[in-house]
Structure 1
Amino acid sequence: MRRATASVPGPQPAAGPGPAPVQAVRVLEITAGFAVAGPLGGAARFVIELSRALATRERTRVAPRLAALWDFATPHDEEWRAQLAREEIPVFTAAPWQAGAPLRSCMESLRNLWRHPGARVDVIHSHGEFTDLAAILLKRRLGARYLVRTRHSSVEWPKRPRLGAFFANLLYPAVFDMEVAVSQNAVEALDGRWLAGRLGRKARRIYNALNFERFGIEMAGRLETRARLRASLGVPVDAPLVGTVGRLVPIKGYHVLLEAIPAVAQLYPHARVVIAGEGPERAALEAQAAALGMGERVIFTGARSDVEAVLATLDLFVSSSYVEGLPTAILESVAAGVPVVATAIPGNMEILQDGVTGRLAPPGDAPALAHAIVAALREPAAAKAMADRAYQDAQQRFSIEVIAAQYADLFCNLMANAPGR
């Protein structure tokens, strides 16, 4: 079993942003871990990128450090800890993840955080479920004045709905000084809670964000990437390639995407579909594809660490979800310049406007989804124009620089109103 580890900032000031001024707000960002290609996905990457942006672009206002509840023992865990250390962002990883004993893993992580709290902070910022509980536990221990939590998902504590309802409706409004939601629909849900209304608590909308630079690097060699990845997947370079990225769970609606594929294949017999991700629904989805006679057309890749490369090779990204907060996968596709077809649900519609920046179809409607996919493939010039407009809009609203500034404003405004400050 691996012991808890701490990444200590390097001694070379030139390697990172340098020390923040004394007046900078000291913020502890808490994430579940750094397994960005595994179970944690977009939220974990967002916390990392937010911390990096705060430490560089907002260093005169915010001094961040990171605590990860678990080490998932993936290559990304090691890579990100090393990268953050090079950038002089302090990191503490509390405990190893034990897949067969989640409760034990949770207790060990919280115990280690309590025993090794680190330096005092002004604000603790958590990002869902167990990290929210860790923030509550550590507030007094770290002398934090304020607790802030960001709700990244439209559904909290899905495996423990009763417990989640207690936390979300009664505990969180009472103990968190600010709750942030990543979509307007989620803001309205938070503001609609009885206790939040009684206490006069209003949630704030701050979107999830992307580091657009990471996609720019991959896109620079797009043709080479496209040829290389398609060859590895057994897809001809000129075949229409439709794809999606995400966890294979029911709310993602991948079974609806598979139901739509036969209609697409009738018009585009050489088209292929790639589904990049892992999850409990994989076996059922593979069986469904085979039963539809689409087994050779649909490629299940499992979890991928090279999301940028996967997107670079697609002609069209499809999201068939029933529920989303603010979907990172769609943002990534937009950043990669890939046309998008998605379901007309609140989170998706905050990114895409039907017929302007993408194409939307009703959730659960396979014929409508097939029609939207065919329309995008049939009119590639129009699809590209939509993708270009989506990219320009996303840079204005969802870039990590914009969102980091909004969080810095939030933290500074809280501290400006702190008693005795």
Structure 2
Amino acid sequence: MRIRMITPAARGSRSGNRATAERWARFLRAGGHRVDVATDYADEPADAMVALHAWRSAGAAARFRDRHPDRPLVVALTGTDLYRFQASDPDTTHRTMGLADRLVAIHEAAADDIPARFHDRLTVIIQSATPPPGPRQPVRGEFRALVVGHLRHEKDPFRPARAARRLPPDSRVVVHHFGLAPDAEWAEAARAEMANNPRYRWHGEMPRWRVRRALSRAHLLVHSSRMEGGANAVGEAIVAGVPVLASAIPGNTGLLGRDYPGRFPVEDTAALTDLLRRAEGDPDFYATLTKHCRQRAPLFEPEREAAAWRGLMNELTAS
């Protein structure tokens, strides 16, 4: 089957949307399908479409459905679909969702955030992750908390640094942040935080292999987003055996589980400080976090994600 994979991110983009589309395309090609990854649809030959982003890919999805009303259309819901555009432009977002034969979400709590009329179309396919090569060896001399994510408002990127500031003098917590500053203002803010906070180090954007190696040397991952559809960094930490402290947003809850004890309220600096203190100083709490993450790790196996995508497309084709 020839599948048109639509993503709003152009070829060569470092966007997570582009990386996700290319990974899904590899899975489907391995299953025998022909997959073209593009940013739009202009009547190119296609037996099915997978449109990443209900709002941004609305035009491509509508055109494909108009031209081919009997061919499978899958719409993958991103974090901005779920937590921004359903509120700011529900007509467009829900219209696209209504055109789809199947909706795909990447975390288990997504059903809570879409209208009930779409629940029977929803399939959850958690994005896979691979552990870093070699054994995990946390650094000595500090309790390293890793932050992985670009400096954007939605990521609340300096919340871990602010929480670390409040720790007692004998704490060994140091926050190491890997992520791109999209402009000079964000870069200056990160440098200013470093200058005034001995517990914060900003490393800028790094290649993925460097980030994965840093994970193997960390004691924790801290993910403080205000809004997220399901962060790759959380999955990579889980499969690396690195416990996570995360804001209690649906995207994090859907990856870590509703009973995960390492969550804190969004923008709650004091609560995050308390979790950092407990993770560093309470071996039983740290072991509990580790156990929970270990139990979730099988959900992130690449074979599981690949099989889910191939099964979904084969099911739609057969029906």
Q: TM-score range by the shorter chain?
A: 0.7 to 0.9
Q: Distance in 1 between matches of 2:291 and 2:113?
A: 32
CA drift of 1:138 comes to 4.4
Quick check: 1:30 aligned with 2:12? no
Match of 1:167 in 2: 92
Cα shift at 1:183: 3.1
Residue 219 of structure 2 is aligned to residue 219 of structure 1: no
Task: For 2:85 and 2:48, locate their aligned partners in 1 and report how far apart those are by CA, in whole Å.
Answer: 29
What's 2:59 paired with? Answer: 133
- Residue matched to 1:55: 29
Larger RCO (CA within 8 A; separation ≥ 6): 2
8 Å CA contact retained: 1:242, 1:317: yes
* RMSD of aligned residue pairs (Cα, Å): 3.3
For residue 76 of structure 2, the aligned residue among 134, 150, 162 is 150
1:249 aligns to 2:139 (yes or no): no
1:320 equivalent in structure 2:
224
Where in structure 2 are the equivalents of 1:14-413 lying within 5 Å?
A: 25-31=1-7, 32-33=9-10, 38=14, 40-41=15-16, 43-56=17-30, 58-59=31-32, 63-69=33-39, 110=40, 114=42, 117=44, 120-128=45-53, 129-138=55-64, 145-155=71-81, 162=88, 164-169=89-94, 171-192=95-116, 197=117, 202-212=120-130, 215=131, 218-220=132-134, 222-223=136-137, 237-264=140-167, 266-268=169-171, 270-278=172-180, 279=182, 282-283=186-187, 285-286=189-190, 289=193, 293-294=196-197, 296-306=198-208, 307-353=211-257, 359-380=262-283, 382-384=285-287, 386-395=289-298, 397-413=299-315
SS in 2 for 1:338: coil
* TM-score, normalising length: structure 2: 0.82
Say if 1:184 and 1:379 are closer, same or farther in 2 by CA, change over 3 A. same
Distance verdict in 2 for CA 1:298–1:152, change over 3 Å = same
Deviation of 1:413 after TM superposition, in Å, equals 2.4
In 1, Cα distance between equivalents of 2:70 and 2:12: 27
- For 1:209 and 1:263, the matched residues in 2 are separated by 34
8 Å CA contact 1:344–1:362 kept in 2: the answer is: yes
Cα displacement (A) at 1:64: 4.0
Paired residues of 1:181 and 1:205 also in contact (CA < 8 A): yes
Distance in 2 separating the partners of 1:401 and 1:187: 24
Task: Map Cα deviations across residues 5-52 of structure 1 (whole Å, 9 max, x no partner).
Answer: xxxxxxxxxxxxxxxxxxxx432322324557x3x12x4333322222
> CA–CA distance in 1 between the matches of 2:170 and 2:316?
57
1:38-72 Cα offsets, whole Å, 9 max, x none, are 3x12x43333222223333x34xxx1413133xxx
**1:273 and 1:298 in contact (8 A); partners too:** yes
Distance 2:214 2:285 in 1: 22
Q: Name the CA distance, whole Å, in 2 between partners of 1:123 and 1:144.
A: 9
Q: Secondary structure at the residue paired with 2:241? A: coil
Using the TM superposition, give the Cα deviation of residue 341 of structure 1 relative to its aligned residue in structure 2, in angstroms: 0.9
Residue 376 of structure 1 and its aligned partner are, at CA, apart by: 1.0
CA distance in 2, matches of 1:187, 1:373: 31
Q: Find the residue that maps to 1:130 and give its secondary structure.
A: coil
Q: Tell me, in whole angstroms, the C-alpha distance in 2 between the residues paired with 1:176 and 1:350.
A: 23
2:255 aligned counterpart, secondary structure: coil
Task: Go from structure 1 to structure 2 and tell me whether the alpha carbon gap of 1:35 and 1:132 turns closer, same or farther (over 3 Å shift).
Answer: farther
Q: Deviation above 4 Å: which 4+ runs of structure 1?
A: 138-144, 154-162
CA deviations on 1:136-176 (whole Å, 9 max, x unpaired) are 334566897121110021546959975x433113x214432
Partners of 1:55 and 1:191 lie apart in 2 by 32
For the 8 Å contact 1:122–1:143, the answer to whether it is kept is: no
Name the CA distance, whole Å, in 1 between partners of 2:262 and 2:222. Answer: 10
Distance 1:314 1:282, change over 3 A: farther
Q: Would you say the 8 A contact 1:343–1:362 is kept in 2?
A: yes
Aligned length: 313
Is the 8 Å Cα contact of residues 135 and 216 (structure 2) preserved in structure 1?
no
Letter in 1 for 2:307: A
> CA deviation digits over 1:189-215, x for unaligned, max 9?
3224xxxx4xx7733131332142xx2
Q: 1:298 to 1:139 in 2, by over 3 A?
A: same
Change (3 A) 1:349 1:161: closer
Instruction: Report the 3-state secondary structure (helix = DSSP H, G, I; strand = E; otherwise coil) of the residue aligned with 2:228.
Output: coil
User: 1:78-118: CA deviations, max 9, x gaps?
Assistant: xxxxxxxxxxxxxxxxxxxxxxxxxxxxxxxx4xx538x3x
Counterpart of 2:120, as a letter, is K
Runs of 5+ unmatched residues, structure 2: none
Deviation at 1:121, TM superposition (A): 2.7
Whether the aligned pair in 2 keeps the contact of 1:241 and 1:273 (CA below 8 Å) is yes
Residue 308 to residue 412, structure 1, CA distance change in 2 (3 Å):
same
User: Under a length normalisation based on structure 1, what TM-score does the superposition of the two structures give?
Assistant: 0.64
Give the distance between the partners of 1:154 and 1:190, measured in 2 at CA. 13
Counterpart Cα distance in 2 of 1:135 and 1:147 = 8
